[in-house]
Amino acid sequence: MGSARARNCLHRPPCAVCSAVTIWHCTLPGPLPLSAICRSGGFPPSFAPSMLRLLRPDRLAAFFFLPLLGALQAWALADAQGQPNWWAQLLALGGFFLFLDGSRSPWQAAWRGWWFAACWLAAAFAWLYTSMHVFGGLPAPLAVAGVAALAGALALYYGVAAVLYWYARVHGYLGSAVVFAACWTLAELARGQWLTGFPWGAIGYAHVDGPLAPLARWVGVYGIGAVAALAAALLGLSLAAVPGYIFGRFIHVARLPVSAPRLLSPLLWLGALTAGLHYGGQWQAAQWAQADAALAQRPPVRLALLQGNIPIAEKFDPSTGVMDSLNWYGRQFLERKESLVIAPETAIPVLERDLPSSYLEVVTAPYRSGQQALLTGLPLGDAASGYTNSVAGIRPGEPDYVYSKSHLVPFGEFVPPMFQWFNDLMNIPLDSFSRGLPVQPSFAWQGERFAPNICYEDLFGEELARRFADPSQAPTVLVNFSNIGWFGDGVVIDQHLHISRMRALELERPMVRATNTGATAIIDHRGQVQARAERASVQVLSGQVRGVGQAGEADSITPYARWAGHAGLWPLWGLALCTLLLVPIVMRRLPRMA
């Protein structure tokens, strides 16, 4: 910190702003304007009126503005039109970073981190209210409280991360941004893996169409989130530093001995990051163009994706929804002519023992001989061995194929310890499934290997990556079977679609989605939607898909699939922890830098 600026600063000890950014209040001789900003928080005690001591503007600003920033970050995942907005995510997190960096104590940092994350997460999965209230029968106040409680519990990870940042933050723009990115990444990883994990709404999904998307094949969604956090912090510092310098000189508040390059340092770092992403993206696009030209020669597989749109309120009612499902899907099984017919999760909603006599034999007969194959969701098992949420595959001349869901949904497919009381409050079936094996064989058909995943299993990219550990058995096409009608037909459908798109980017495999209410779609290996059925409608989506990769071909496996398939997310854990530990040490040993 320059000595002249330290003497001019009204805070004791001098505030952190005065070591980097020209802020007007540090040299104002009179009362401070309400627009004054200080990273150490609030007004100097010598100038603050008694009322402002009780209601400090920094506390009021954090209380009211952090929810707006959290809502903006949730909106960035999928707006009203269902589109992700990467720029909004950067603005939201950049604004939060400024509030966090201005915390005056670790407790204030924890509060701000928790408050921002709780509002963001509550907005991101507010659709849980529909499941709890409309279909679960929970009274509306309890359903709202349930969503808030879940968001508040998950936000604790970010409150702890905020405290870590407060203790580890360093002087200098780049160092602060890097430490913030490491802390944020640790929180995202913990939320995604601990206590079964619930990483829905991770910030990386906002970038599925943005300039960070090419990084998916290298570092996955959490790596994208780390780079996004770094960029957001630099953006926030730029938005705070540049106006302070420009307007401070314009109104001649002071002529402090600070050079423009130093004040513009965060903007320069942000520009360097942007340039690297731009040229890296161009190089990646050239590589993709060559690979796609060769892929175009591969024969496609013709698909029929069935979307029955059976009302959830009736789907498991034997007198209405069950018969509607069996009749509609059974008719489609018999009438479709495509090479591969795919029906969604629990398209057949009851166990085989509860089906009409000979139902399965009749509707699957065309697939046991001829040139067609079938994949359909249904429950399997018995009371002795346990029930599974499964996919059955039928093809001519081969034994029946079965895939059973491994990563189950809490409260929907199993009850977490000590929460049976909450499950008893709701009236939702399917709460006692058994888990399938973590890695299961793919469904081989017409030279492709179709790898099923059910419902939100596609939320866990590191688990899908395990299937690529053995290149000779690596999937060539991913298939998601979902029934998220429990959560309505709103933004949850678009959020889930973008999750599948991110998996396609990470693993560079097409993702085919068969759902009950949406989004039924065909996604190519670049994460682009090639065809999509209208949500909440009865529809059959016909199309084709070309798999990527051959048996034993290791070159088609992405770097992310390689390291995540063998080591899970431990490399990211290690990198984030090392960054958090080493950067403060290095920065404190070096001369103070911008």
Given this model, what pLDDT does residue 268 score?
A: 74
**Catalytic residue list contains 18:** no
Q: Which of 26, 119, 183, 405 is catalytic?
A: 405
Tens digits of residue pLDDT in 208-222: 999 999 999 999 999
Residue range 4-11: mean pLDDT, rounded: 42
- Mean pLDDT for all residues in the chain: 84
Does the structure show a pLDDT above 60 at 7?
Answer: no
Cis amide prior to 519 (ω within 30 degrees): yes
Q: Which of 528, 535, 534, 494 has its CA nearest to residue 80? A: 494
Which of helix, strand or coil describes residue 183? helix
**Burial readout 408-428 (b: 16 or more C-beta within 10 A, e: otherwise):** bbbbbbbbeeeeeebbeebeb
* pLDDT tens digits, one per residue of 91-144: 999 999 989 988 889 999 999 999 999 999 999 999 999 989 988 888 999 999
What tokens were used for 17? 């702003």
552 — pLDDT class (breaks 50, 70, 90)? low
Q: Quote the Cα angle for 428-148-195, to 5°.
A: 70
- 4 forms beta bridges with none
Tell me what pLDDT residue 354 has.
92
455, 457, 462, 463: the catalytic one is 455
Nearest Cα neighbor of 577 from 220, 208, 169, 164 is: 164
CA within 13 Å, CB half, 464: 33
* pLDDT-based confidence at residue 575 (cuts at 50, 70, 90): very high
Per the rule left: phi > 0, alpha: psi between -120 and 50, beta: everything else, 488 is left
pLDDT bracket for residue 50 (50, 70, 90):
very low
Identify whether the C-beta of residue 504 lies closer than 8 Å to the C-beta of residue 497: no
CATH number of this structure's domain 299-415+429-546, picked from the four choices 3.10.129.10, 3.40.630.30, 3.40.50.620, 3.60.110.10: 3.60.110.10
Please report the pLDDT score of residue 316 as a whole number: 87
Q: What span, in angstroms and rounded, lies between the C-alpha atoms of 255 and 266?
A: 21
Q: What does the pLDDT read at residue 242? A: 57
Q: Which residues contact 351 (CB under 8 A, 6 or more apart)?
A: 379, 380, 381, 382, 387
Q: Look at residue 551 and tell me whether its pLDDT is greater than 80.
A: no
Q: Which of 188, 345, 448, 506 is catalytic?
A: 345
Q: What crossing angle do the helices spanning 570-589 and 216-250 adopt, rounded to 10°?
A: 30
Predicted model pTM: 0.87
Q: Is 448 among the residues known to form the active site?
A: no
pLDDT for res 244: 52
Residue 53 gets the label, from left (phi > 0), alpha (psi -120 to 50) or beta, of alpha
**Whole-angstrom distance, CA of residue 341 vs CA of residue 302:** 9
Nearest partner of 173 among 262, 243, 112, 113, judged by Cα: 262
The pLDDT assigned to 38 comes to: 41
Cβ(73)–Cβ(89) below 8 Å? yes
Every domain of the chain and the residues it spans: 61-291+573-589, 299-415+429-546
Lowest mean pLDDT among 79-83, 406-410, 451-455, 542-546: 406-410
State how beta strands 401-404 and 340-342 pair: unpaired
Q: With 50 as the cut, is the pLDDT of residue 1 above it?
A: no
Whether 405 is a known active-site residue: answer yes
Question: What does the alpha-carbon distance between residue 176 and residue 227 come to, in Å, rounded to a whole number?
Answer: 14
Amino acid at 386: G
Q: Which of 482, 480, 509, 439 is nearest to 216 (CA)?
A: 509
Mean pLDDT, rounded, for 291-307: 89
Q: Say yes or no to pLDDT of 6 above 90.
A: no
259 or 338, which is more confident? 338
pLDDT tens per residue across span 435-469: 999 999 999 999 999 999 999 999 999 999 999 99
Among 24-28, 38-42, 283-287, the minimum mean pLDDT is found in: 24-28
**146: enclosing H helix or E strand:** helix 140-168
Instruction: Tell me how many degrees the CA angle 133-154-485 measures, rounded to the nearest 5.
Output: 35
**CB distance 511 to 581 below 8 Å:** no
Predicted confidence (pLDDT) at residue 260 exceeds the cutoff of 60: no
Structure-derived torsion over alpha carbons of residues 151, 157, 162, 167, reported in degrees to the nearest 10 = 160
Q: Is the pLDDT of residue 264 over 70?
A: no
